Amino acid sequence: MLAYLNYPSWIKPEIIPGLPIRWYGLMYLVAFAIAYYLLNYQIKQKKLNTQKDIVSDYVTWVIVGVIVGARIFATLVYDTSGRYWTAPWLIFWPFQNGHFTGLAGMSYHGGVIGGTIAAVIFSKIKKMDVLVWGDMLVTSIPLGYTFGRIGNFLNGELYGRVTTAPWGVIFPNAEKFDVNQPWVKDTMNRLNITIANNMDKINLPRHPSQLYEALFEGVILWLLLWFVIPRFVKVRGGLISFYLIGYGFFRFVIEYFREPDVGMDFPIMFGVQNNPNYLFQSLFNFTTGQILCFLMILGGIISYIAFVQVDRKTKK
């Protein structure tokens, strides 16, 4: 019996081979559709009077903000090659090496910033309550986000670190390792992997961290924001704060299992780290993603305190 799982050979990035329609893009369309439906549902439940097409316009602004922010952050912050700084027109160029790839490479944290800016600007223009609409938006996002991470899994990307867990997955496009490295030999022995004498590199099982994120940052966070937290938090903007705290916490933990982005691995290291990206070795080595998640958690706490103060002044 295998001590790991092979990535299903029947999964391909394209929905129909030969056509530029990818599962990744379809999953994001599903994500946006779910967020739109849940936002509409809340508006009806709250019996809010809205102008015609206001919801679709609001969602469109947020989607554009998310895409622009996520792409800019991914290319100008996470990409360390510098190619996008010297050729900024490539940021939104959907072709690579003559092939249509779409906008491959997005940053969640950049998407949050872009989507927030777009939502605030639109709300101000239309004289909508920023916090009320923001609360409804953040409770609509996580369930859709689940499908975005499933799209990453179907794309065979954003996989986790090497693992000996029985649910570890060998992703076909993952980096292969020199079989002569001591940690690689040890991992192979623990998994009972044998290789041919002429093999010098091997692909090892990884944490399916995309699915971890789909579950915790998607389904579980949505359940908390939709059913649990509203029972205790009645402050306008409170759900925005708890979204930041909840997502930041779950993502912070999952970063221990997810392979850090190239060149953005461990800005803060207090523990042993003999091989930087591939094995979990210390709770005290923090990735760039964890630093950003800590800032999200801190921002959520500070914003909640501020929203409580505003709410108290309003009620006086």
**Digitized pLDDT (tens) for each residue of the chain, 316 residues in all:** 568 999 999 888 788 777 767 787 888 889 989 999 999 999 999 988 888 789 999 999 999 999 999 999 888 877 777 888 888 888 887 777 666 666 667 888 899 999 999 999 999 999 999 999 999 999 999 999 999 899 989 989 889 999 999 999 999 999 999 999 988 999 999 999 988 878 899 999 999 999 999 999 999 999 999 999 999 999 999 999 999 999 999 999 999 999 887 666 677 777 766 665 577 778 888 888 899 999 999 999 999 999 999 888 877 6
Does residue 113 lie in a domain region?
Answer: no
Q: State the residue range of the domain holding 184.
A: 5-51+126-315
Q: Is 70 exposed, middle or buried (0-12, 13-18, 19+ CB in 10 A)?
A: buried
What's the CA gap between 74 and 78, in Å, rounded? 5
DSSP reduced 3-state for 62? helix
Q: How many structural domains is the chain composed of? A: 1
What's the CA gap between 298 and 293, in Å, rounded? 9
Does residue 121 lie in a domain region?
Answer: no
DSSP reduced 3-state for 295? helix
Does residue 35 lie in a domain region?
Answer: yes
What's the CA gap between 265 and 289, in Å, rounded? 8
Does residue 276 lie in a domain region?
Answer: yes
Does residue 160 lie in a domain region?
Answer: yes
What's the CA gap between 203 and 150, in Å, rounded? 22
Residue with tokens 């964890």: 290
Does residue 102 lie in a domain region?
Answer: no
Question: Which pLDDT score is estimated for 275?
Answer: 64
Does residue 87 lie in a domain region?
Answer: no
Does residue 107 lie in a domain region?
Answer: no
The answer to whether the beta carbons of residues 120 and 240 sit under 8 Å apart is: no
Residue with tokens 């290291």: 269
pTM of the model: 0.90
